[in-house]
Structure 1
Amino acid sequence: MLEASTHLFNIVWPSHLFSRKNFRKLWLNLHLILALTVGFEFVILGLTGSCNVFYYELNELFLPPLPAASQPQPRSLDSIMQTVKASHPQRTGGWSMVLPGYQSDYVWVKYPKPEETKDELYGPLEILVDPYSGTIVAEHFWGRTVISLVYEVHAALVTGKISAEIGKIGFKVVCFFGVFLFVSCLSGLYLWWPRGGKFKQALTVKLHSSPQRFYFDLHKTIGFYSSLLLLVIAFTGFAFGYKDAIKPLVNYFSAVKADHLKNPGLKSTALDLSPAISIAQAIVIADQVFPHAELRGLDTPDGKEGVYMVAKRQADEAYRQSPRSKVWIDQYSGKVLAVQDPRRFTAGETFLNLLWSLHDGEFLGFPGRVLWFTVGFAPLALYITGILRWLQKRRAAAMKLAKQASTCN
């Protein structure tokens, strides 16, 4: 009976299909198909991603230098906000401020939904202010400068500039490329795995070998050394667009009670003849909640029912530019309406909270960002060496067929 069952299985699923040679060929073909179909997209996303790691620094690269120690005291944020509003009196909604000290030297003041870009997926007005003189040194709409356009290519292939709805589709498409990159990395690792345990040979490049061997060695070594980070980047990139698919898996291991990236939808209660508190007063109130945390940014109230949001960074937070320690404050009474403390997140919420800093290397500080910047060039190197190696093999196969044909004749 057992022999009959085995014979039947071999008829339906011939054993030779599962041989090591055929299994390796399957992965090789999959790896090749991904390279030829979406490999160039990996190159674009890698190069633009490297640029995005230093988005703030690149935007400030050609701005006038800040004064030296002659003006050690920066202007108050209330004063800076008054200057910005006076320059844009028609913009009556809420503003966001990102403070200097990490990635940037200037105060970044952003208006999230300007009339000029209201139909785009994302198009804030970004204004850069000298923190000492309080003067505006630069301003632009997102996607209208080279650096922000590069970011737009990375995020949604510029589809967000067509319309918000098309941009959402483009964003989903870009995020789904993370699946292809993840599979490409896994298949590459399987093909790289050395037979007979010859790991030293598999991890080195023979510099004085033939072009064929040199390109092959370069491809496999770059692929191996960059694979771990590329897998992380691929997974996190996918998770940005498909968090609803990731949450149930994370929730299985640790409860995810809230989405801490969303605004809690709080409102201020207007009091009769009560003026709104100042930015400085809102910061003082937030300091009482997080007394030892660094002030990194804030949102001003959006309309009469809007609230202040003050963002501070505690010492152990992965995020430095956009930390998660936040305090929401009623703009009239100064009452603390809500507090977000990353130290109280569940393990699952902490994991989801880390996705962005894992995607750009920020959780490791400046060295991490440099490392992620470098890895962004790996898809380009892998694409070039992979295509060259593929062309070499095609030429070799063509020459072999030609030789066989001449022999037969």
Structure 2
Amino acid sequence: MRKKLWQLHSWIGLFCGLALVIIGLTGSVLVFHQEIANSVYPEETLNSSTAPNAQRLPIDRLCETVESKFPEFWIRGWLFNYDSPQRDKAYVMRHGEEEWYLLYVDPYTAATSHAPIKTDQTIYGWFVDLHYTFFADHIGMAIAGIFALGFLFLSVSGFYLHKPFFKALFRLRIRASSRIFFSDLHKAIGIVTIPMNFIFGFTGAYWNITHLVHEIIEHSEEDHDHLESEYPAYRERIAELPDLADTTLPGYSLNYIYFPREEEPMFYLYGQHPGAGVFNSPYGSHIWVDAISGEVTYMQDLRKAHTWTKIADTFEPLHFGNFGGLTTKILWCIAGFSPAALCITGTIMYFKRGRRKARKHKTHFQTTPSKCASS
């Protein structure tokens, strides 16, 4: 049983190796994507200097500024950044098109970036597409999900196969043969990063698979040929949203708004309940608001949600490592290099083991006739 599991572990590792290297390295970049963007495009992503007691402009005024400055676009979503040097992000679409664009908006002055940019042309968007879909849309997402499942299997099987290695976790026999050295190194990296690798594999597979299932169900039930929005007719509702959300769920932190469409006249509000912990995502509590009547049609307080909903909500901070500030982000970034290290050391081990077996077989074949003759 152990031998067969070892072979399966090796074969799946070789099959998934290159893809996991790409996923791991891009994941490391994504951990610090905002810091990278701030360094490369500070004039686009960072707020202008403001006084400590500066007040954010109302969301309706920010929306009016975006629409008046870029009338060829309509707003699809708004991501808030509170107490942060980063600007808010407005997600917009050009009228008559389906591609998403990103626009940075200073919430204190309403200053915007020079022009909306396609989301897949941003640093974050480019790496996200490669990380989750290999630039192959839903087919790529399915493939990435399969590789994530493979990574999950490698983490679990590696833990089982190398359990005895805990006794000599930091033993690296440098003066031994290269096969033994790389074996020690492979086991050490695998054992140390098992918790994070298990999290990466499980959450990545869960997101990709559930997203695909949702897309299949949604496309089978709805017609998305018409995407033009009628939300300017609901403009008066925008100003009401923050107060309405706080009334519905006192202490609510509104972090993202998904705007209405003509065929779906609903504001979808995503945020956090009061007292949310470090392992809660920024979007775990939801409030749906009818854009015509202004009535709340649905509310999910994460504190009262089902157990699995609470568990799934932790996946985002656990996957990206942003729950512990800079320390965990650095650890998660380093862990993103582990698939590459495991792929390299595992491949070397596999082929050295194959050569060793070949040499043994050759030696046995050469010595057997002489033994027979002497007998």
The TM-score by the shorter chain falls in which range?
0.7 to 0.9
Assess if the C-alpha contact under 8 Å between 2:155 and 2:197 holds in 1: yes
Task: Give the equivalent residue in structure 1 for 2:187.
Answer: 220
Task: Give the equivalent residue in structure 2 for 1:385.
Answer: 345
1:328 is paired with a residue whose SS is strand
Task: Give the equivalent residue in structure 2 for 1:12.
Answer: none
Task: Give the equivalent residue in structure 2 for 1:348.
Answer: 308
Two-structure CA RMSD over aligned residues (Å): 3.4
Residue identity matched to 1:327 = I
Report whether the alignment pairs 1:159 with 2:136.
yes
Assess if the C-alpha contact under 8 Å between 2:245 and 2:254 holds in 1: no
Question: Counterparts of 2:33 and 2:276 in 1: how far apart (Å)?
Answer: 23
After superposing the two structures, state which structure 1 stretch, 293-302 or 221-230, moved more. 293-302
1:237 is paired with a residue whose SS is helix
Identity %: 25
Unaligned 5+ segments in structure 1 are 1-22, 161-167, 247-269
Distance 1:80 1:57, change over 3 A: farther
Question: Counterparts of 2:179 and 2:189 in 1: how far apart (Å)?
Answer: 16
Assess if the C-alpha contact under 8 Å between 1:78 and 1:279 holds in 2: yes
What does 1:176-255 correspond to in 2, within 5 Å? 176-194=146-164, 199-201=166-168, 203-206=169-172, 208-210=174-176, 211-243=178-210
Question: Counterparts of 2:90 and 2:145 in 1: how far apart (Å)?
Answer: 28
Offset at residue 240 of structure 1 (A): 2.2
1:66 is paired with a residue whose SS is coil
Unaligned 5+ segments in structure 2 are 214-229, 371-375
Question: Counterparts of 2:37 and 2:123 in 1: how far apart (Å)?
Answer: 9
Assess if the C-alpha contact under 8 Å between 2:281 and 2:317 holds in 1: no
2:102 is paired with a residue whose SS is strand
Question: Counterparts of 2:83 and 2:197 in 1: how far apart (Å)?
Answer: 25
1:308 is paired with a residue whose SS is strand
Distance 1:145 1:311, change over 3 A: closer
Report the TM-score, using the length of structure 1 for normalisation. Answer: 0.73
Task: Give the equivalent residue in structure 2 for 1:301.
Answer: 260
Question: Counterparts of 2:252 and 2:181 in 1: how far apart (Å)?
Answer: 52
2:272 to 304, 313, 322: 313
Cα deviation digits, residues 70-107 of structure 1 (max 9, x gap) = 48333332222112112332334x52111113787111
Report the TM-score, using the length of structure 2 for normalisation. Answer: 0.79
Report whether the alignment pairs 1:44 with 2:22.
yes
Task: Give the equivalent residue in structure 1 for 2:90.
Answer: 109
Assess if the C-alpha contact under 8 Å between 2:73 and 2:93 holds in 1: no
Distance 1:207 1:305, change over 3 A: closer
Question: Counterparts of 2:235 and 2:104 in 1: how far apart (Å)?
Answer: 25
Residue identity matched to 1:285 = L
Distance 1:102 1:132, change over 3 A: closer
After superposing the two structures, state which structure 1 stretch, 278-287 or 379-388, moved more. 278-287
Task: Give the equivalent residue in structure 1 for 2:217.
Answer: none
Assess if the C-alpha contact under 8 Å between 1:46 and 1:377 holds in 2: yes
Task: Give the equivalent residue in structure 1 for 2:59.
Answer: 77
2:298 is paired with a residue whose SS is strand
Question: Counterparts of 2:344 and 2:278 in 1: how far apart (Å)?
Answer: 34
Question: Counterparts of 2:212 and 2:245 in 1: how far apart (Å)?
Answer: 35
Task: Give the equivalent residue in structure 2 for 1:127.
Answer: 103
What does 1:251-266 correspond to in 2, within 5 Å? none
Distance 1:38 1:311, change over 3 A: closer
Assess if the C-alpha contact under 8 Å between 1:114 and 1:125 holds in 2: no
Offset at residue 381 of structure 1 (A): 0.8
Distance 1:141 1:245, change over 3 A: closer
Question: Counterparts of 2:126 and 2:200 in 1: how far apart (Å)?
Answer: 21
